[in-house]
Amino acid sequence: MDTEQEQRERAYKIWENEGRPDGQHDDHWRRAEQPHETTEQGAAEVTKANQHASDEFNGEGQKKTSPTDRPPSSVAPD
């Protein structure tokens, strides 16, 4: 059987993998009580989702445009 320290360490790892959110310690502790493999899989899925969201936010998930892909300027030439 797992010790309380091992459960505490799993809960801490879940918290870190989720970006250290405030106010979710009860959920992290409950998830740490689950079998270790399930917890690791859930943490990995959250980490992947967080990375995807971060990439999208930072523009890394967007198509790179070339100078010819830009819309025409609204300024008329002189």
pLDDT given for residue 59 in this prediction? 82
Confidence of residue 1 (pLDDT cuts 50, 70, 90): very low
Q: What is the pTM of this model?
A: 0.43
Mean pLDDT along residues 38-64: 78
Whether the pLDDT of residue 63 is over 80: the answer is no
Question: What pLDDT sits at residue 6?
Answer: 87
In this prediction, residue 75 has a pLDDT band, given cuts at 50, 70 and 90, of low
Dihedral Cα 45, 49, 51, 54, nearest 10 deg: -160
Burial of 14 (0-12, 13-18, 19+ CB in 10 A): buried
User: What is the 8-class DSSP label of residue 61?
Assistant: T
